[in-house]
């Protein structure tokens, strides 16, 4: 599972917990995702929060690119009401990120199950190593 996205979730929760951003709507989040400035905009809200998906050298982490692309796909496929977050945009963003992690974890276990089945079908095959979830 993506440690960068888990960290981002924790930071988003911290920003939401301040209570200062309830006026941000899912429409605002959509606009910043579509404009491609979501991360700088989030960082401008709470400069002390570590709202980033960059490595120690400042390079963009691949997981972050996938996260942003995933947000774009989710926005095209779904609406805020489907996430149960019609009013608060940051909760909408948090919900979409949780959904991506859930899908990622599901894929990890799907791949593991396929490997396990192949190993069991092979007489000499040893079972694969269980997937890491953190």
DSSP for residue 36: T
32 φ/ψ angles, rounded to the nearest 5 degrees: -75, -35
Q: Which residues are within 8 A (CB) of 95 and not within 5 positions of it... i.e. 6 or more apart? A: 83, 84, 85
Contacts of 126 (CB under 8 A, 6+ apart): 119
Tally the domains of the chain.
1
Inside any domain, residue 129 = no
Residue 22 resides in a domain = yes
103 or 27, higher pLDDT: 27
Residue 34 maps to a domain: yes
Q: Does 116 map to a domain? A: no
Cα–Cα distance for residue pair 62/79, rounded to 1 Å: 26
16 lies in a domain? yes
The answer to whether residue 130 sits within a structural domain is: no
Question: For residue 26, is it within any domain?
Answer: yes
> Which CATH number goes with the domain that contains 80?
1.20.120.600
Q: Which domain holds residue 24?
A: 3-104
Rounded Cα gap, residues 2 and 62, in angstroms: 10
pLDDT digits (tens, 9 = 90+) for 47-100: 877 776 655 555 555 455 677 777 777 776 665 556 666 778 888 888 888 887
The pLDDT value given to residue 20: 92
Residue 71 lies in a domain: yes
pLDDT at 42 exceeding the cut of 80: yes
């Amino acid at each position: 599972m993506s440690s960068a996205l888990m960290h981002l979730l924790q930071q988003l929760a911290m920003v939401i917990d301040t209570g200062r951003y309830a006026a941000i709507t899912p429409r605002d989040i959509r606009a910043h995702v579509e404009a491609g400035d979501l991360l700088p905009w989030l960082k401008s809200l709470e400069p002390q929060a570590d709202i980033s998906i960059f490595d120690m050298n400042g390079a963009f982490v691949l997981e972050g690119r996938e996260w942003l692309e995933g947000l774009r796909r989710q926005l095209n496929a779904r609406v805020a009401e489907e996430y149960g977050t019609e009013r608060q945009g940051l909760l909408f963003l948090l919900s979409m990120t949780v959904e991506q992690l859930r899908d990622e974890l599901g894929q990890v276990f799907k791949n593991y199950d396929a490997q396990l089945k192949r190993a069991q079908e092979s007489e000499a095959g040893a079972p694969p190593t269980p997937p890491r979830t953190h």
